[in-house]
Amino acid sequence: MHRALTETSHRPWPLPAGPWIMAQTWHDLLFAHWPIDASQLRPLIPAALDIHTYQGEPWIGVVPFRMSGVRLRATLPLPMLSAFPELNVRTYVTHNGKPGVWFFSLDAANAIAVCVARAWFHLPYFNARMRCDNRDGSIEYSSERIHRGATRANLRMRYCPAGEVFHSQAGTLEHFLTERYCLYAADAKGRVSRGEIQHARWSLQPAQAEFRENSMTNFLECGGAAPLLCRPERPNLPLLHFARRQDVVVWRPRPI
């Protein structure tokens, strides 16, 4: 049994039927979240999906981390192909009451992984030049999108955990933002699919971060990253959480 399957009682619905197809491990992950106006999101998300809100607010997340052990079922991780940094920009959606993640972009420092994920999962992956280094307990992270024909999007920052490990409780904002067990994606014809995922409950820590450059949300009509990063009425933003490790298995996407 894969390590990710040893704890399942926390799931909001049963494990999907059939075998998982891919395994991976996520390391040194930062959740950086900001609330956002639903009118900025609605044109960017298929009509078949509902925007998921917490107390009436949608949220957008910038999530840097690194991956290891990426492999297909019944195979071993391949050197130089199974470990690389990744960077996601995401929001939260539902379909028929089933909450999940919608990705606006996924940047990765692995051209083969980008190609496979675009073809198999219909996810908006982009090639990027990336670094993720642990320096004295802090993560130095940089990403520069180099995908041919893609919109420029860069991230340079430093982050670290800043508190004790905890598990989020159902009904809290932390639980809403992190405990998600499927993702939604659309193909070139707009057909939406759902991909189930499984992992243990997130072991979260409060975090600190210094953003030196963040143009990952410049695709929004609000005029770039500044409205997300500069909210005088919400001085506690972005909301930051750190996770040291998460083992994950993924199922093949199915049409909704």
- Determine contact, residues 166/183, Cβ cutoff 8 Å: no
pLDDT digits (tens, 9 = 90+) for 214-228: 999 988 855 444 445
For residue 198, which of 71, 41, 22 has the smallest C-alpha distance?
A: 22
- Whether residue 91 contacts residue 104, with contact meaning beta carbons closer than 8 Å, is answered with yes
Number of residues that this document lists for the chain = 256
Q: Is the pLDDT of residue 183 over 90?
A: yes
- Which tens digits make up the pLDDT trace of 56-67? 999 999 999 999
pLDDT at 75: 84
Whole-number average pLDDT of the chain: 92
C-beta neighbour count of 17 within 10 angstroms: 7
User: What CATH fold (topology level) applies to the domain 3-8+22-255?
Assistant: Acetoacetate decarboxylase-like (2.40.400)
Ranges of each domain in the chain:
3-8+22-255
Query: What is the C-alpha separation between 231 and 212, in angstroms, rounded?
Result: 17
Please indicate whether residue 206 or residue 116 has the higher confidence score (pLDDT): 206
